[in-house]
Amino acid sequence: MIDLKQLADRKYKIALDESYEAEQGGKLWYYQIPCRKGHIYVHGEGTLGAYVKGGKMVSKIRAIPGTRIHQNGDGEATFVFQPDVLDQVAEAIGARRRPRLTDEQRAAKAELMANHVRPKLPVK
């Protein structure tokens, strides 16, 4: 099974599917990459899937070599593809990227957090 967090965590934001329940544990198939026009998810043992909204997006993804349509609806579709075309699919449907910080920005944020003091809650 593909571990989406390991595959794309440094580059894209990773979220949990809305059907995830905390008591089920962090199963690999609950992770997805949120996108402006859909989302990318683990489809099977060695494949990823993409849910795409909008007719123009469907034709855009269909044009990427290595993708094949799995289900087609009126204004949406799901595609199946190999992990090696993840970046092309992610770019086409507007995957949310993780913010990249410079060393100076990272140090400034660490300093802010080091100086942050949590207010003490009253004991009841």
Reported as a single tens digit per residue, the pLDDT across 56-107 is: 888 899 999 999 999 998 889 999 999 999 999 999 999 988 777 788 988 8
Q: 3-state DSSP helix/strand/coil percent for the chain, to nearest 5?
A: 35, 25, 40
Note whether 70 and 48 are within 8 A (CB).
no
Report pTM. 0.75
Domain spans, the chain: 4-115
CATH topology of domain 4-115: Aspartate Aminotransferase, domain 1 (3.90.1150)
